[in-house]
Amino acid sequence: MLPFWFVILTFISQPVTSIDVISSSCPERCGDVLVPYPFGINFTSGISNPYNCALNKHFILTCNVSDDPPTLFFGENMPIHNISIEEGTISVRIESANNCYNETGITYNFSQYIRMKGGRPVRFSDTRNKFTVVGCDTLALMEDDEETFGSGCISMCDSNVTLEGSCSGRGCCQTPLPRNLTTINIHLSSLYNHSRVWQFKPCEFAFLADERTFNFSNLQLSSYPYSLETKEYFTTDVVIEWAVREETCEEAKSTSNADKKYACGPNTDCIYSENVGGYRCNCTDGFTGNPYLPQGCQDIDECKEPDRYKCDGTCKNTYGNYTCSCPLGMRGDGKVGCQGFRITTIAAIVGGVASIMVIAFLIIILYKRRRNERNFLKNGGLLLKHQRVRIFTEAELVKATKNYDQSLLLGEGGFGYVYKGVLADNTQVAVKKPKDKDKTQINQEFQQELGIVSQVNHRNVVKVLGLCLETNVPLLVYEFISHGTLSQHIHYNRSKILATWKNRLRVAAETALALDYLHSLADPPIIHGDVKSSTRIQGTIGYLDPEYLMTGNLTEKSDVYSFGVVLVELLTGEKPNSSARSGEKSNIIQYFLSSLENNELSRILCFDVASETEMEEIEVFAELAKQCVRVSGMKRPTMKQVSEELGRLRKLHERSGDYHQNSEETEHLLGQSSYRSIDIGTAKLNQQEVLSLTTFDVEYSTGSI
């Protein structure tokens, strides 16, 4: 049996009872160590009475005044260097277990036995301490008195080792402690009696150590961990957890026994320690001080500690907390940060009823401004104001539309209403106002896509002039085009513009140019997704790509199909979802393809053909339409190919006749704005619909396809 040395962890056992008032004469220090209540100090010189200065007998510590400086002890031989009320810990220094060897064998051995007397509310900390073994050819074991657990580790190495800041496993090993530990027996032994390694590693040792403070880089395996001559042993910091009593918070609060009075004062929280199996006290958030004193936890004035407690506005201390109000004109939580615009100057308001009226007026203005600011920020104003899009105020558009007068209503769609408006500079615009049911917040995707859409610039594309972000749902502002839709010219007006083949070809060619621009030149490329001659709600039957209906995948070839339907509509004058002229139950595409197959194209045309040359051009046009409406998207041409073919056909037509004859009359009928044939409002970017921008559900954009 190896000899052992033991330390008893206990307090001086004297009768002490709980007290309500702590004497101001109670000492608070022993040397350099602060000793807060519930602990008390028993000086070896007998100069004070500790029993009126501690919570009870378990909390009396001994101060040896003969040392220089005086030393505070926990038990008999463990110097204390820190006591923490907040963490419920005592940090002490304990010597390590050691074995040292020379060529003849062991020269000195020191095993460690640490015991806490039963009934004391103290335990070794299982979270702060680690059992550590340092050496080569070293086996260290630890167990408790009751033998309820046993553990240890082996440390091996075959050359001189320096531990650089941590225990890496070579020349050192570690293992954790279990909970609720009051005794530890530590024994060291060598597997080979150090016969192989004693010359360069003569000593081995095992110890408990606080992980926060222990530094492995101070250890050298080739040196002795103590001085044999002076018996200055190698020591480490060890953390001991303490509690007031070994009972739960609920049990403590319900105890009526005066000897076990609940120890926590006002403004405190009771904390249960699983390791100790007892409770201790802490000040509640917003309070600071000693939770064991009758009035120990005092309110923190957070406003006097700006470096610790943030406030970007006006700070006001409250009991246990504080408030922080943002400056006038700003909003948010001042503890986090205020947003908005600071109002640095507020006009002084003086005098009676007049003052009250002015203040009321300012309140109304401020309310509206803050409401508009909230909507502006919510709808992405900080991002959008840097894009190439005009930001209108709500007041501007209310005035332009005469407060959305019904006489200025241009049309209605699934998303909202469109009103004609006249701005202050006499510019005519179309203002889209969403319906009540569509009041959804603008999202980040909308902000990004609007930034892209606003940069599209093509003469055949209806332009987005700007938007208003001050309303709950943004208002869209478009250029105003007064000539009506292509559908109206084909089906309702018997339009003089479309009376000739030349103009129908021009409409088709310029519309194809715009779609080609969206597909090929826009950055990023844009899939329109709703090409048609009318401005009905998006997804009109008859224009939709059958491949899209089956797969749900929207592609550029979907636009090619829809454009092919429009070409058929230009030729036949029939609506895509109507029955054929023969009365058969087939749609216009089937009717058109059947007529081509039977060489009956001339029979289905809705306009007069001026010459045989024009008929040849129309046949080429019809064949192109046929290619566009093929069921398989892969077999359809691209929009660029369609545009180039229509451009070639148009040049051919110009060379075949007197293109410039009656040009002034033609321009008068057509008008430059008549061929703005793609409304960018319902374009889809990256196959995602641009939220709140659709304008196909209104009846104002000429040739909107």
Is there a single domain that holds both residue 591 and residue 652?
yes
Lowest mean pLDDT among 137-141, 475-479, 663-667, 692-696: 692-696
pLDDT band of residue 685 (cuts 50, 70, 90) is: very low
Is there a single domain that holds both residue 212 and residue 232?
yes
- Residue 474 is classified by DSSP as P
> Per-residue pLDDT tens for 62-73?
999 998 899 999
Provide mean pLDDT across the span 79-91.
Answer: 94
> Per-residue pLDDT tens for 393-419?
989 999 999 999 999 998 775 567 889
Is there a single domain that holds both residue 468 and residue 546?
no
Is there a single domain that holds both residue 584 and residue 467?
no
Kindly tell me if the per-residue pLDDT of 228 is higher than 80. Answer: no
Distance of CA 598 to the CA centre of its chain: 64
Tell me, yes or no, if 530 is annotated catalytic: yes
> Per-residue pLDDT tens for 272-312?
999 999 999 999 999 999 999 988 999 999 999 989 999 98
Is there a single domain that holds both residue 64 and residue 124?
no
Residue 14 inside a domain? The answer is no
Give the DSSP H/E element, type plus range, for residue 685.
strand 684-685
**Measuring CA to CA, which residue among 183, 224, 261, 287 is closest to residue 98?**
224
Is there a single domain that holds both residue 475 and residue 491?
no
Residue 609 inside a domain? The answer is yes
Residue 234 inside a domain? The answer is yes
Residue 116 inside a domain? The answer is yes
Residue 271 inside a domain? The answer is no
Residue range(s) defining the domain that contains residue 537 = 485-656+689-704
Q: The dihedral of CA 438, 441, 444, 447: what is its sign?
A: positive
Is there a single domain that holds both residue 610 and residue 574?
yes
Is there a single domain that holds both residue 117 and residue 200?
yes
- Domain count across the chain: 4
User: CA-based angle 182:184:188, to the nearest 5?
Assistant: 175
Kindly tell me if the per-residue pLDDT of 499 is higher than 90. Answer: no
Is there a single domain that holds both residue 555 and residue 650?
yes
- Asked which of 428, 446, 480 is the last residue of a domain, the reply is 480
> Per-residue pLDDT tens for 326-379?
887 788 888 988 887 655 544 444 566 676 776 777 777 666 666 666 666 666
Residue 510 inside a domain? The answer is yes
Here the tokens at position 524 are: 């990023």
Residue 70 inside a domain? The answer is yes
- Tell me: is residue 231 an annotated ligand-binding position: no
Is there a single domain that holds both residue 476 and residue 418?
yes
187: how many CB neighbours lie within 10 A of its CB? 20
Task: Print the SS3 string covering 47-108.
Answer: CCCHHHCCCCHHHEEEEECCCCCCEEEECCCEEEEEEECCCCEEEEEEECEEEEEECCEEEE
pTM over cut 0.75: no
The residue annotated as part of the active site, out of 237, 516, 530, 545, is 530
User: CA-based angle 345:346:349, to the nearest 5?
Assistant: 150
Is there a single domain that holds both residue 98 and residue 59?
no
Is there a single domain that holds both residue 99 and residue 216?
yes
The span from the CA of 261 to the CA of 588, in Å, is 94
- Asked which of 458, 480, 502 is the last residue of a domain, the reply is 480
Provide mean pLDDT across the span 676-690.
Answer: 33
pLDDT at residue 115, rounded to an integer:
75
